[in-house]
Chain A
């Protein structure tokens, strides 16, 4: 190589070579730097993607678990509902039964169609020596009530006194005693039920009505669309 003329000074050639070398070095270094950054960025992207994918998989697994849980729970609900429906039918029956029983016990006030039978003592007959021949006895009341019960009366009351299943009726001279309450004639017997059936059962030939007439008792019967009876509790 030629030796420069001035050793302590840059020659033009050296200066140019220096500039070119610096530029080349700069370009190469910059390029390298840029590529490295890009790779790093790509790597970070890949890492991010990976983590997202893992998250996604995790979420999907969780979703699957929850879906299974959901279906399990729905199955349980279905079972419970089935049981409930079954029980509901039973409850309904039970409620109806309870209602009927209450009705028969007289625990609730009732209202409905029915008949009203009035038994009155006959007018005083001077020919008769025995007044028992023309006054209403407890047996007459009982026969009417029995007939009504047989014919399907749901509730019966005498002079407003509701009859229970365990009521007693006692002849007490001119009055009769029902569950400790005394009632004189005339006796108004009210019964709730199918009025046609009740009426016709009383009017059967040779039945209660005829017997009462034979015993010289004034009997009046009337059908009514609405008869109201209070509950036993109220009277007590």
Chain B
């Protein structure tokens, strides 16, 4: 459990220390990238809890989602349509769904453990 947390903290530190300026136009891409990354992580956690986790799906989903979102935003900028909103919307909805699933699974597990404890004590 400590490895992902350590990785997250390391990444945060790197990101905060980085002092590269990017043009204002590309800031949309960054917001989408954040969403895509969060979505993938929560998706991964959910998959892990549901025991359907797969390395290839996780890794490819992470990078592919980011790339797709960035591509969509790029297209949107050049077409004059705010297509990145579509990506934000999709990722947002999926993020909430994933978190909801994770919550339910955790609750179920907790209840199961409680019942077991009760059975053991009785």
Which A positions have Cβ atoms within 8 angstroms of B?
1, 12-14, 16-34, 37
Contact = CB atoms under 8 A, between A and B. Distances in A.
A18 B116 CA distance: 34
Given A16-B55, A18-B3, A29-B11, A23 B62 contact: yes
B30 A25 contact: no
Contacts, number: 101
A12 B56 CA distance: 11
B27 to A, nearest CB: 7
Nearest to B37: A24
Given A13-B55, A31-B34, A23 B18 contact: no
B50 interface: no
B77 interface: no
Interface residues of B, number: 35
B59 to A, nearest CB: 5
B10 A28 contact: no
Given A17-B4, A20-B44, A26 B59 contact: no
20 contacts: A14-B3, A16-B58, A18-B6, A18-B7, A21-B5, A22-B11, A24-B11, A24-B37, A24-B41, A25-B15, A26-B12, A26-B18, A27-B15, A27-B30, A27-B34, A28-B37, A29-B18, A30-B18, A33-B16, A34-B27
Given A13-B53, A31-B31, 17 more contacts: A1-B48, A18-B3, A18-B4, A20-B37, A20-B59, A21-B7, A24-B8, A25-B8, A25-B13, A26-B14, A26-B18, A27-B30, A28-B34, A29-B14, A29-B16, A30-B30, A33-B16
Given A19-B7, A32-B15, A24 B59 contact: no
B2 to A, nearest CB: 10
A26 B3 contact: no
Nearest to A18: B7
Contact of A22 (B14, B18, B22, B55): B14
